[in-house]
Amino acid sequence: MTISLNCVKIDLSALEHNLNQVRGLIDSDTRIMGIVKSDAYGHGIVQVSKLLEKNRVHCLGVSYPHEALDLRDNGIKIPIVILCGIRTEKDAETIVKKNLTPVVYDLISAEMLNKVALKNRKKVNIFVKIDTGMGRIGVPVSRTEAFIKVVMEHESLFIQGMLSHLSSADESVHNFTRKQVKIFRQAIDIGRKVGLELPMNSLANSAGIIEHKETHFDMVRPGIMLYGGLPSPGFKTSVNLKPVMKLTGRVLQVNNLPDRTPVSYARSYYTKGNQKIAVASIGYGDGLPRNLSNRGKVLIGGQKANIAGRICMNMATCNITGRTDVHPGDEVVVLGSQGECCITGDDIAEKAETISYEIFCSIGQRVKKEYIT
């Protein structure tokens, strides 16, 4: 049996802990939509969804019908919300057949859904997406009443709630978020004025859950916080989140190099005096961002080691000068804990000038995952 040098471990107990942190921030009657789109941010959509279902979240949020189909085919029974809506009649057939809940923001998709539902003598629950300031998909509040009235004419569609998305809830200044809340309330009021009950309205993402109680409404949508990440690098919170993903490799070789020796591609790093360099089995092909070259860190033997030189597709060179405890075969941690030290997704994201979402998704699609409880 071939054993891979590199491994992504997913700690499901940490995921459950983070879900409980969400519950500690919301009212007891507030529902939770666990966001599992993009393979659960690289953590594995089926395994994550099974744990969330077991822990009684109300529903799951995915981007597209094929993700929901994968979950249904793997035995997930709770409601699944299609956040990006549908585009084709085939999508509508999947929605009706698999009892899915799409987000609707245009009348063409509403008409397709109703047509397929009528043919199958079924009702379809939907959310209406309102653009409260994201400037992405959604119905402007000025068109909400006219839009809802047309959708209400489709007898096989049931609007169970309004849904919108916060664009800036992670910012230290909250004025824009307050504006979005105000617009969202207006949309809900409009819907109820024309006869809808709207029992399940949803606005809050992870930043909203943590920072803005007024955004919680009837259902919150935790995403990045479920996986132990922050809404943005530098986001300050006292919420105790645990990392769920750990990426490890192995030391391939340890080299003692003399002064002024170039290391890795393009000679972007030269040794300064005699230096010891460990070659790790992890590179950008495994999700380690290439722009961490000469500025990122890894953990070896419970200590941080600087990445020295350009990160390669499947290797990275690390400065371990002065150490005698590092040998070929030793574990190298790129993301996660080793001993008392930890490198988080946000640590990597800050140095790579991105967000932990991208780090998790990039790693998760490249290295085979193992699940621990």
Active site residues: 37, 265
As a whole number of angstroms, the distance between CA 64 and CA 91 comes to 9
Q: How far is CA 95 from CA 65, 84, 146, 267, 329, in A?
A: 7, 13, 25, 54, 49
**Contacts (Cβ under 8 Å, ≥6 apart) of 197:** none
User: What is the 3 state secondary structure string of 87-154?
Assistant: CCHHHHHHHHHCCCEEEECCHHHHHHHHHHHHHCCCCEEEEEEEECCCCCCCEEHHHHHHHHHHHHCC
As a whole number of angstroms, the distance between CA 124 and CA 105 comes to 15
283: left (phi over 0), alpha (psi -120 to 50) or beta: beta
Closest CA to 256 of 279, 272, 276, 270: 276
Do 131 and 183 contact (CB within 8 A), yes or no?
Answer: no
DSSP letters along 152-181, please?
A: HT-TTEEEEEEE---SSTTSS--HHHHHHH
Query: What is the DSSP pairing of strand 269-270 with strand 262-263?
Result: antiparallel
As a whole number of angstroms, the distance between CA 59 and CA 51 comes to 12
Closest CA to 188 of 97, 127, 234, 277: 127
Do 297 and 305 contact (CB within 8 A), yes or no?
Answer: yes
DSSP letters along 247-280, please?
A: EEEEEEEEEEE-TT-EESGGG-EE-SSSEEEEEE
Which residues pair with residue 249 across a beta bridge? Answer: 332
CB atoms within 10 A of CB 323: 14
